[in-house]
Structure 1
Amino acid sequence: MILIAMGVSGAGKTRIGEMLAERLHCAFTDGDAFHSAANKEKMHHGIPLTDEDRWPWLKSIRVAIEEKQKAGETAVFTCSSLKRSYRDILRAGDKDVCFVYLKGSREVLEARLGHRTGHFFDPSLLQSQLDTLEEPGADEAITVNIELSPEQIVDDVLKQVAQR
């Protein structure tokens, strides 16, 4: 099984992803590690990424997913996965890939980004991400409210995964 914690910046993908991996006793990989230096530079300077910027990034994450699957490993990844087309690349028709949509209000996201330090993402890009976001339906993802505590979110995700 592959879980992908998704959502806009500030949703808590890394924290929830790490906690899920810990609970599942499996590997965790942050999708940000697959961004090119050029992508990181653009985001650092408040320049939104284009689809052309994202395609190689998404494909490299898909390769990493396939490597985990070939090794027979469960793994947790993070990736904003803002559009269905992006999720389609990551999923590649694979029913073993499950998205976890970390959903939150703009106010909560802005507050979180305002307190975050040491990340290349310019908080001014939040609106661009919200504009790009195509929220997944129940057919595509498990959805959880980020206003719950991280422990409650992880419990909820694991409960929903077990019910699938």
Structure 2
Amino acid sequence: MSARSTRHVVVMGVSGSGKTTVAQGVADATGFEFAEADAFHSPENIATMERGIALTDADRWPWLTALAEWMTARSAAGASTIITCSALKRTYRDVLRDGAPSVTFVHLDGPAEVIRERLSVREGHFMPASLLQSQIDTLEPLGDDEEGVVLDLRRSPDELIRDAVDWLEHDG
């Protein structure tokens, strides 16, 4: 597979929307290489979020650039990828699109109360539920000119994975 024929998918949404579960399921179904964006955060960014402080754009730029560089490197090696990333702002998505060809987005979206409930029972993650509102306030929906699909996060993980794979095969 050449770099021209690779595909790169970003499963986006606020913390607790189900990005990791869906992205891993799509990776399993498609053979795309999976990466968890949280693994690309600097120790400083993680410590900031653990203290309940939202990241600034300046904190995010190196992280987003590292994700884009990873997708570009994997594309050059002929591999398609799927990553998780909140990708809350269009400017963040622009950075992710810079490099690898054919970057598309699967936005997991739904009611804040559903996400808040999920976060209240999630264990072992550095992102506290107290930062959810800052993410919701920051979130900019996909623009009409951005290639992607919005899926209702209230659907079951299996349904979301199937919907994402179907979209990638037919529309994405």
Give your verdict on TM over 0.5. Answer: yes
Deviates more, 1:137-146 or 1:113-122: 137-146
- 1:156 is matched with 163
Q: Aligned partners of 1:94, 1:133: CA distance in 2, in Å?
A: 23
Residue 62 of structure 2, aligned match among 56, 64, 85: 56
- 2:153 is matched with 146
- 1:159 positional shift: 1.5
Q: Aligned partners of 2:101, 2:170: CA distance in 1, in Å?
A: 15
Quickly say closer, same or farther: Cα 1:66–1:94, change in 2 above 3 A.
closer
Gaps of 5+ in 1: none
- 1:163 positional shift: 2.3
State the AA in 2 paired with 1:36. Answer: S
Number of equivalenced pairs: 164
State the AA in 1 paired with 2:124. Answer: G
Task: Kindly report structure 1 stretches of 4+ aligned residues shifted beyond 4 Å.
Answer: none
Q: Aligned partners of 2:48, 2:11: CA distance in 1, in Å?
A: 23
Q: Give a deviation string over 1:118-144, Cα, whole Å, max 9, x none.
A: 000011000000011001135322110
- 1:162 positional shift: 2.0
The sequence identity of aligned pairs, in percent, is 43
Q: Give a deviation string over 1:98-151, Cα, whole Å, max 9, x none.
A: 111000110100000001000000110000000110011353221100011111
Residue 47 of structure 1, aligned match among 44, 53, 57: 53
Q: Aligned partners of 2:162, 2:121: CA distance in 1, in Å?
A: 25
State the AA in 1 paired with 2:118. Answer: R
Quickly say closer, same or farther: Cα 1:12–1:79, change in 2 above 3 A.
same
State the AA in 1 paired with 2:158. Answer: E
State the AA in 2 paired with 1:131. Answer: D
Residue 24 of structure 1, aligned match among 15, 23, 30: 30
Q: Give a deviation string over 1:10-46, Cα, whole Å, max 9, x none.
A: 0011111110100012311000011000100010110
TM-score, length of structure 2 as denominator length: 0.92
Q: In structure 2, the residue corresponding to 1:4 is in which secondary structure? A: strand
Gaps of 5+ in 2: 1-6
Contact 2:10 2:85 in 1 (8 A): yes
State the AA in 2 paired with 1:123. Answer: A
Q: Aligned partners of 2:123, 2:99: CA distance in 1, in Å?
A: 36
Over the residues paired in the alignment, what is the CA RMSD in angstroms? 1.2
Residue 81 of structure 1, aligned match among 70, 84, 87: 87
